Amino acid sequence: MSDTVPRAAYGCENMVAKLARVLVREPEASACRLWADFGWRAEPDFGALAREHDALCAVLESAGAEVVVGRPVPEGLDAIYTFDPAIVASTGAVVLRPGKDLRLAEAEAVADDLAAAGVPIVATLESPATADGGDTIWLDDRTLLVGRGYRTNAAGVDALRAALPGVEVIELDLPYHHGSDEVMHLLSLLSPVSHDAAVAYLPLMPVRLVQLLEARGIELIEGP
């Protein structure tokens, strides 16, 4: 009998463990012309995007991760951010509903990609619920922080609670900052780097979040 614990085929209920399988999506040249519609600051250089994507995949593979390439999303410039349209828990995937209309097609694409990769779909958010992966942070395997703002609404938070029984979903209000044109996600403010430390931008952090992290013994490393 082997002492080696088999690696799970899916499940990501923390932000700092070694990556085993990673879903990526290649950039598409035709989508670059839509940069202004998607709120990018300037037209991207497709050649540079493609080189950066290839380099990222190489880094992931060199670290021992299996890279799974998703199907194209026509005119989906933001589809390269595969973290946003789904949460993959140990029970399966929760397909989110983006709060940015131009990204709605990504939900169907990521559901197909995950199913093809052997990940069961346990829930799919429906209107009026919206939720963005960038507004979610696993504090530990039983605690999910969710930022409520322009891309994640109250119905979305409720849907996540229903989809993740046994998980404490803690809702936090996100700052207005520059408004809906320059959205601040929860991951814009906090990036866990270990089980007991996280990089934080304190000037925009909700007080309740700072107090929660301090109570959990998580060191905050302030970033500029």
Strands (E), 155-210: 168-173, 190-194, 197-200
Residue 16 placed within a domain = no
pLDDT of amino acid 40 = 94
Please name the helix (run of DSSP H) or strand (run of DSSP E) that holds residue 221, with its range, or none.
strand 219-222
What pLDDT band is residue 2 in, cutting at 50, 70 and 90?
very low
pLDDT of amino acid 3 = 44
Please name the helix (run of DSSP H) or strand (run of DSSP E) that holds residue 148, with its range, or none.
strand 143-148
Residue 5 placed within a domain = no
Pairing of strands 197-200, 219-222: parallel
Structural domains counted in the chain:
1
- Write out pLDDT tens, residues 111-129: 999 999 999 999 999 999 9
We report the CATH number of the domain holding residue 144 as 3.75.10.10
d(CA 164, CA 162): 6
Burial label for 173, CB within 10 Å (0-12, 13-18, 19+), is: exposed
Residue 9 placed within a domain = no
Strands (E), 37-127: 66-69, 86-89, 92-95, 121-124
How confident is the model over 124-135, as a mean pLDDT? 98
Residue 172 placed within a domain = yes
DSSP 8-state symbol, 185: P
Q: Which of 81, 145, 129 is nearest to 109 (CA)?
A: 81
Give me the percent of the chain exceeding a pLDDT of 70: 97
Residue 14 placed within a domain = no
DSSP-derived 3-state class of residue 175: coil
Residue numbers of the domain that contains 43 = 21-222
Residue 8 placed within a domain = no
Task: Let me know how long the chain is.
Answer: 224
Residue 11 placed within a domain = no
What pLDDT band is residue 5 in, cutting at 50, 70 and 90?
very low
Phi, psi of 79 (to 5 degrees): -65, -15
